[in-house]
Amino acid sequence: MFIFRTLILLAGVAFGSYALAQQTFSSDLADFRLQTVAEGLNHPWSLAFLPDGSKLITERAGQLRLIKNGKLQPEPIPGVPELVVAGQGGLLDVLLHPEFADNRLLFLSYAHGNSEGMTTRVARARFDGERLQDVEVIFEALPRSGTSRHFAGRMEFDSDGNLYISVGDRGDKPRAQDTRDDAGGVHRLTINGEPAPGNPFLTDDSVNDTFFTYGNRNIQGMTRHPQTGEIWTHEHGPRGGDEVNVLKAGANYGWPKVTYGIGYSGIPISDKTTMPGITDPLHYWDPSIAPSGIAFYTGDLFPEWQGDVFVGALKMRKLVRLRFDNKDVVQEEDLLPDLNERIRAVNMGPDGALWLLTDSSKGKVYRMVPAK
């Protein structure tokens, strides 16, 4: 059970210059505070930490925002590529190049529309501290469609500098098993948009060269394991069947051939939860929590959480802590159920704190720090 109380601070606080309301919580392993760093954001979706301590935040409504010196800057950053805001689509992830401090490169995923329909795009740009420059589209999922859901859009780099991009099934289940269709999988590219060297299907004409995995419904959490370098993801199931997975080259994760969930109408989608040739999840939720955002805790502020996985939940409005022993979940704890916020993103900050984004028209940026 969780107990929380609200403290109104009138001056600076111990872990930074954030002087806004703080909420204190108790959990099984550690007591912590939530510091409100920024608020009034329009459906914030993603967060990136700049070398100078500033933060970039995407708003699904189409704006890229900057927190500088602890304050949300009033004007959005200009230069964002043309995009469409519809349904679940808009401006999605922002990811810095691993050598951003030297090359100033970042990557944006977003929904794009034209006369042929909508799709997921990724653009590379250079951020000079004030605006985006040299914006270039490096990936576009094809074919387009008229649906406005399941764009996915989460991105991550591996230790070799390859870029992973998730694309949802766009609400059309069979697309996730069609390997000539970019929907319903994870693509691995170079920063120039070419298929990454060593991709598993480069010599298979029946599969698009950029595919790394397929059979994925709608991945909205992606992170790199701090020790093994593996890319971990989670994805939305329908009514039940949200999954945590480790990406394996060439793997088929089964959607919609297998699932732990059922259709929103209550009609079964499949009578199988596993089958030969399908990679099973490490963990699943039933009923669905609608996961979004994932991070390993690697900081020093909470030694009790070292190595644990944190997952945000939209539908269930909570933060889930998972402890793994190898690839088996040995502990699961629900945090922040009384906060009543849709948690969209979870990030491990360079300051040792966990950072959260809440999904609403008045979204917030929270920072989790020790209670004392």
Q: Domain residues of the chain, as ranges?
A: 42-234
Q: Does 11 have pLDDT greater than 70?
A: no
- Give residue-wise pLDDT tens across range 322-360: 999 999 999 999 999 999 999 999 999 999 999 999 999
Pick the CATH number of 42-234 from 3.90.1170.50, 3.40.630.10, 2.120.10.30, 1.10.540.10: 2.120.10.30
Per-residue confidence (pLDDT) for residue 19, from 0 to 100: 44
Per-residue confidence (pLDDT) for residue 350, from 0 to 100: 98
Q: Does 7 have pLDDT greater than 80?
A: no
SS (H, E, C) the chain: CCCEEEECCCCCECCECCCCCEEEEECCCCEEEEEEEEEEECCEEEEEECCCCCEEEEECCCEEEEEECCEECCCCCCCCCCCCCECCECEEEEEECCCHHHHCEEEEEEEEEECCEEEEEEEEEEECCCCEEEEEEEEECCCCECCCCCCCCCEEECCCCCEEEEECCCCCHHHHHCCCCCCCEEEEECCCCCECCCCCCCCCCCCCCCEEEECCCCEEEEEECCCCCCEEEEECCCECCEEEEECCCCCECCCCCCCCCECCCCCECCCCCCCCCCCCCCEEECCCCCEEEEEECCCCCCHHHCCCEEEEECCCCEEEEEEEECCEEEEEEEECCCCCCCEEEEEECCCCCEEEEECCCCEEEEEEEECC
Q: Give the residue-averaged pLDDT of 262-283.
A: 97
Per-residue confidence (pLDDT) for residue 23, from 0 to 100: 81
- Give residue-wise pLDDT tens across range 58-103: 999 999 999 999 999 999 999 999 999 999 999 999 999 999 999 9
- Give residue-wise pLDDT tens across range 16-67: 445 445 789 999 999 999 999 999 999 999 999 999 999 999 999 999 999 9
Per-residue confidence (pLDDT) for residue 13, from 0 to 100: 37
Q: Give the residue-averaged pLDDT of 305-333.
A: 97
Percent of the chain with pLDDT over 90: 93
By annotation, the residues acting in catalysis are 150
Q: Give the residue-averaged pLDDT of 305-316.
A: 98
Q: Give the residue-averaged pLDDT of 256-284.
A: 97
- Give residue-wise pLDDT tens across range 237-248: 999 999 999 999
Whether the pTM exceeds 0.85: the reply is yes
